[in-house]
Amino acid sequence: MTEEKSELAGPTVRNGNQNSLKKKSLETKQTLESMLSNEITRLSQEADVCIFALYDAECPNEGPIDFSTHERDSNLGIVDFDVDFDFEGIGVWYICRRYGKTYRLRHILVQIRQGRFVKGQVEEFEGFWDEFPEFVVEDRWIKGFTPIPPPLPKLVETALAI
Q: For the residues of 95-144, what is the DSSP string, one character each? A: EEEEETTEEEEEEEEEEEETTEEEEEEEEEEEEEGGGHHHHHHT-HHHHT
From residue 57, give the alpha-carbon distance in Å to each of 101, 140, 150, 155, 161.
34, 15, 9, 23, 25
pLDDT at 136 over 50: yes
8 Å CB contact between 117 and 32: yes
- Confidence at residue 148, expressed as pLDDT on a 0 to 100 scale: 63
pLDDT at 99 over 70: yes
Most confident of 8-12, 77-81, 151-155: 77-81
- Confidence at residue 7, expressed as pLDDT on a 0 to 100 scale: 47
pLDDT band at 140 (very low <50, low <70, confident <90, very high): confident
> CB neighbours (10 Å) of residue 143?
12
The tens digit of pLDDT for each residue in 20-45 reads 766 666 787 788 889 999 999 888 88
- Ordered by start, the domain boundaries in the chain are 14-148
- Confidence at residue 151, expressed as pLDDT on a 0 to 100 scale: 62
The mean pLDDT of the chain is 80
In what helix (H) or strand (E) does residue 35 lie, and over which residues does it extend?
helix 11-45
pLDDT at 122 over 80: yes
From residue 86, give the alpha-carbon distance in Å to each of 29, 33, 77, 90, 122.
12, 10, 27, 11, 19
pLDDT band at 112 (very low <50, low <70, confident <90, very high): very high
Q: Say how far apart CA 156 and CA 78 lie, in whole Å.
A: 50
Please compute the mean of the pLDDT values over residues 38-55 and round it to a whole number: 91
Collapsing DSSP to helix, strand or coil, 58 comes out as: coil
Q: Residues 57, 63, 67, 71: what is their CA dihedral angle, to the nearest 10 degrees?
A: 130
Q: Say how far apart CA 40 and CA 109 lie, in whole Å.
A: 11
